[in-house]
Amino acid sequence: MADMPAPALPFRPAGWVNRLVAAPGFQRFCARVPGLRGIARREGAALFDLIQGFVQSQMLLALVELRALHHLADGPATAPALAARLGVPPERMAILLQAGAAMRLLRRKGDRFTLARRGAAFLAVPGLADMVRHHDVLYRDLADPVAFIKGDTDPELARFWPYVFGAQGPMDAQVTARYSHLMAESQRLVAETALAQISLRGARKLLDVGGGTGAFLRAVRARYPHLELALFDLPDVVAQAALPADVARHGGSFRTDPLPEGADVISLVRVLYDHSDDTVRGLLGRVFGALPAGGRVLIIEPMSGGARPDPHTDVYFSVYTLAMQTGRTRSGAEISALLQQAGFAGVKCFQADRPFITCALEAQKP
């Protein structure tokens, strides 16, 4: 047996480093050497995490839909006790809770489970549970990932966000309320993150374009109580905005209607990545026309890592926007180029501490 040659690789990867890493003999060597053993183990675990990722997502959805995390936030419980409360067979609840503990959302002590720090953080982040519930649409769209990537499917997600195709006339009130609620819940953390990076000191009036029900403007008001504010969005969306009476509301479509003038700062929060380059060019042109000389535009949304692919934005957000069929997740460099084409200058990209929440950049009208 010792004289038998090592099995040939079923492929020959380019590059000597890749060929070395792919060689079974080298892998066995790494597994035996103390200094390399940890690296090999971590790489192996990382590969398996890629394989099991969809199962983790679905078990997280089950924990959210059953409100298991919420129940355990009140105190520890055994699997049978929680199963009786939630109407789940005890042996299946035990598997779900064990998985939740393995994902470090829960903590197991003996036969009882309680909320772990990660689980507490999950419940505390605004809109996170709503986002997970919403993912059943994306999961269905990705049921056949090869057909999805080839463009041979009709994604359901595109119909969840009707405005991306340019809604005409009154929209269904239930549909509007559904996506407006999801946007408002998730927008709170985006607003807090962006405003920690961008200063609005010295600004006189801010117009938020495509601002939904006003979550970003409410966050701005909390930080800058004397700043004049205005909202521009589809009439049915603006009508649902919970904003102070002194915030101006403008109903219209940024695809076809001119933007209100008078603001020296215009914000586009999670707007560009919903739309095609042509739509974005038209919008940035309208923003440029509405701003005075020296006025600023703020772009706040998740962005691709570009030449340095980001593990979050270039997987989750890029696929999500692809499923929407109209937009795409652009890099800061791509957005900068679009801004410069529109006439803006002095583009400034802010360092994103958590790009999976949002990135931000600003530009000025000369």
Confidence grade of residue 15 (pLDDT, cut at 50, 70, 90): low
Mean per-residue pLDDT, 15-28: 58
**3-class secondary-structure state, position 118:** helix
Report the pLDDT value the prediction gives residue 130, as an integer from 0 to 100: 85
Q: How many CA atoms lie within 13 A of 271 on its CB side?
A: 28
Q: What would the pLDDT profile of 148-158 be if each residue is shown by its tens digit?
A: 999 999 998 88
- In angstroms, the CA 290 to CA 261 distance is 5
Please check the confidence at residue 3 and state whether its pLDDT lies above 60.
no
Q: How far apart are CA 44 and CA 30, in angstroms?
A: 12
State yes or no: pLDDT of 246 exceeds 80: yes
> What mean pLDDT do residues 280-299 have?
98
Which residue segments constitute the domains of the chain, with CATH numbers given?
A: 20-123 (1.10.10.10), 128-364 (3.40.50.150)
Looking at residue 255, its amino acid is R
How far is the CA of 250 from the CAs of 84, 209, 237, in angstroms? 51, 9, 10
The Cα 149–Cα 323 span in angstroms is: 9
Bridge partners of 177, per DSSP, are: none
Q: Mind giving me the DSSP string for 83-108?
A: HHHHT--HHHHHHHHHHHHHTTSEEE
Question: What residues does 345 pair with on adjacent strands?
Answer: 364
Question: Which one of 14-23, 36-45, 96-105 scores highest in mean pLDDT?
Answer: 96-105
> Which tens digits make up the pLDDT trace of 190-243?
999 999 999 999 999 999 999 988 999 999 999 999 999 999 998 888 888 889
Measured between alpha carbons, how far is 331 from 306 in angstroms, rounded to an integer? 5
As given in the structure block, the two tokens for residue 307 are: 């030449």
Max mean pLDDT among 25-39, 41-55, 151-165, 258-272 falls in: 258-272
pLDDT digits (tens, 9 = 90+) for 253-268: 999 999 999 999 999 9
- State yes or no: pLDDT of 247 exceeds 80: yes
Cross-sheet strand order for the sheet of 77-78: 77-78, 112-115, 106-109
* Residue where the block lists tokens 């792919």: 22
Res 1 pLDDT > 60? no
* Cα 143 to Cα 24, 149, 327, distances in angstroms: 33, 11, 21
For residue 307, the SS3 value is: coil
SS3 percent helix, strand, coil of the chain, rounded to 5, is 50, 15, 35
Contact 207, 235 (CB under 8 A): no
SS3 77: strand
Containing 300, the helix (H) or strand (E) segment is strand 296-301
pLDDT at residue 167, rounded to an integer: 47
